[in-house]
Amino acid sequence: MMPRNLLDSFVLDAGTGKAIELYKGQILRIEQIEGAQCVDFNCFNLHDYKEYMHTGRTRTLHGLHPTKGHFMWSAPPRERALVYILEDTAQCNDVLFPRCSANLYESVYGFAAHTNCHDIQSEAQREYGLTPDDVHDSFNLFMHTGVDENGKPWIDRQKTGPGDYIDLLAIEDVLAIPNVCGADIMRTSNFSIKPVKLSIFEATADDLAAVPPLKRLPSQRTPADFKVKQIKADRALQKDPAYQPAFTNVPIRIEELTVTLTDEEYQLLRRSALTELYGSDDGAALRDIVFSWWGERFISAS
């Protein structure tokens, strides 16, 4: 395997997202640092934001859990492959659930402000002049989901570990926007929010050769095919040089809460602790129990 040329690498802090110009033939690696962190992902055609990744089209072609060897497709009427998943060490993705939102945290948990994927996406893509209405349903990386026997979707804790990663190869020039999922009081990221590492590489010939051939069909329309060819906004995404990020509740600040347990209580903790996820970390196991309990006691199932 030929070595890749690393173009950039940085850490995406908890509660934040970043709009990245990812050109055809470049690879965005999204990598776990501590593990167990969901990352929401949006992308747009860099030269025409009206074309964007569509979870519905992607779900139809690749199922609920797309992984290595699958594409991210744009919405009708374009329906082109925008991104190819070159590698996926965790194979724990979701295209069923929508992004979480401020309304979810207010209506269910009573938060006036809380990190949430919609607002993080909005804030990140604001750097390119996009509005909150332009956020689309996300490709949920590192998210453990399924559907029960009654057809209801569920989310469970995940087992991704440090160093797990997914490599996304741009098939077209895209604005790629990963964000650290803001859910810290539910199972999505095992009840915490953690930073992730992003790296951008130049694809090698081997990488490009791994992409299956793509058909080009007349039904994959472009604005040239539209009866109305113009839109009221500019199509090209221009970076705002005055952009200053202002993400909700960032920086995420960690505080320690020490609780003294009796022998009996400690035995209850050890019996209920999810050791397969948290090992000997009693604090993480107890945090999981606290917020699992909260959800069961205060959120009524619909």
Partner 1 sequence: MNEHRVTLRLNQQQLELIDRTVAQGIAPNRAALVRLALLQYSDVHQNDTSTDKPSYAGALK
Residues numbered 54-93 forming contacts with partner 1, rule: CB under 8 A: none
Closest CA to 82 of 137, 39, 45: 45
Closest to partner 1 by CB, 67 vs 101, is 101
**Residue indicated by tokens 């690879």:** 27
Estimate the crossing angle of helix 263-272 against helix 282-298, to 10 degrees: 80
What are 259's two structure tokens? 């609780």
Contact between 256 and partner 1 per CB under 8 A: yes
Q: Identify which range of 122-130, 178-186, 211-219, 234-242 contacts partner 1 by CB under 8 A.
A: 178-186
Closest to partner 1 by CB, 204 vs 249, is 249
Q: Pick the binder of partner 1 from 28, 53, 117, 175 (CB under 8 A).
A: 117
For partner 1, how many residues bind (rule: CB under 8 A)? 75
Residue 49, classed as helix, strand or coil, is: strand
**Residue indicated by tokens 């809380």:** 114
Contact between 106 and partner 1 per CB under 8 A: no
Contact between 195 and partner 1 per CB under 8 A: no
DSSP 100: P
Closest to partner 1 by CB, 174 vs 180, is 180
Closest to partner 1 by CB, 86 vs 285, is 285
Contact between 174 and partner 1 per CB under 8 A: no
| Residues between 264 and 283 that touch partner 1 (CB under 8 A) | 265-266, 268-269, 271-272, 274, 276, 282-283
Instruction: State how far the Cα of 85 lies from the Cα of 168, in Å rounded to an integer.
Output: 5
Q: Pick the binder of partner 1 from 20, 53, 183, 203 (CB under 8 A).
A: 183
Contact between 140 and partner 1 per CB under 8 A: yes
Length of the chain: 302
**Residue indicated by tokens 């609780």:** 259
What are 102's two structure tokens? 């401020």
Q: Which residues in 37-67 are b (16+ Cβ under 10 Å) and which e? A: bbbbbbbbbbebbebbbbbebbbeebebbbb
Closest CA to 39 of 126, 153, 152, 120: 120
Contact between 110 and partner 1 per CB under 8 A: yes
C-beta of 283: minimal distance to partner 1 in Å?
Answer: 5
Contact between 180 and partner 1 per CB under 8 A: no
Closest to partner 1 by CB, 110 vs 218, is 110
